[in-house]
Amino acid sequence: MKKYIQNFNKYRYLLYELVKKGIVLKYRHSYLGIFWTLLEPLLTMMVLTIVFGGWYGKSDQSFPVYVLTGRLLFSFFSTSTKAAMKAVQNNAKMMKKVYVPKYLYPLSAVIYNYIIFLISLIVLLGVSIVLKVKPTIYLLQAIIPLTLIFVMSLGVGLILATLNVFFRDLEYLWGVALMLIMYSCAIFYEPERLIKTGNDWIFAINPVYHVIANFRESVLFGQPLSMQYLIPSILFSFGSLFVGIFVFYKKQDEFILHI
């Protein structure tokens, strides 16, 4: 363990540069730059609220916050896992020229997307204030689902980064999988509607929904975190991280033969 810590410290400045590079490249051709991080979720929230707020007869003024909490967390999971999946391939030239711990590439992809995600939470704060969503002491618990979504994204990202080196079609398959995950995250509808029809298993197998649900408990509903959602999300997050590290470590020496 000491050896790995020393190796990480040796290359921590490179990790910093990779994170900075990722943020710069993301907004390189954007006139709005980092401001788009705030504007895009706000516009998406408005569209979803107009469309689905009327569809589901949702008259509660906090519905935009409900939509935004789900939208922000899922968006981070989606963009970070896709970026991590392609991180090894995108840095193939550097890997062929100089030795760098290969895990830094997917790790930096998740970190820079997480930084952008944290900045976008400013929108959630602003909308909550405007709509008079009162904060409670349980708001402090939000750090737990925010941590779990990062760990989960990193774990899944490492697995995808490894598999994508050998199976290039995975990028398209993961896009379809993300669509299925999104629709089962209850971003713009109340899960009770599916539970009444006996389709609650859809939420039980979706760890991203568990994290979103607990984030809403602390931010929107002002309630303690639900153990029903917390335990599965913890198990999946750290389980996927363990599997991701193991698979990546076992296969990383073969990357150079396939990139």
Contact 142, 66 (CB under 8 A): no
Higher per-residue pLDDT: 193 or 244 = 244
To the nearest 10°, report the CA torsion of 138, 143, 147, 150.
100
**What share of the chain has pLDDT > 70, as a percent?**
91
Return the amino acid letter for 153.
S
- Band of pLDDT at residue 254, cut at 50, 70 and 90: confident
Tell the residue number behind the tokens 């335990």, with chain if given.
231
Q: Mind listing the pLDDT tens digit for each residue in 204-215?
A: 889 999 999 999
Contact (Cβ atoms closer than 8 angstroms) between residue 187 and residue 74: yes
User: Residue 55: what pLDDT?
Assistant: 59
Contact (CB, 8 A) for 104 and 11: yes
Helix, strand, coil percentages (3-state) for the chain, rounded to 5, are 80, 0, 20
CA distance linking residue 252 with residue 102, whole number of Å: 7
Residue 5 has pLDDT above 70, yes or no: yes
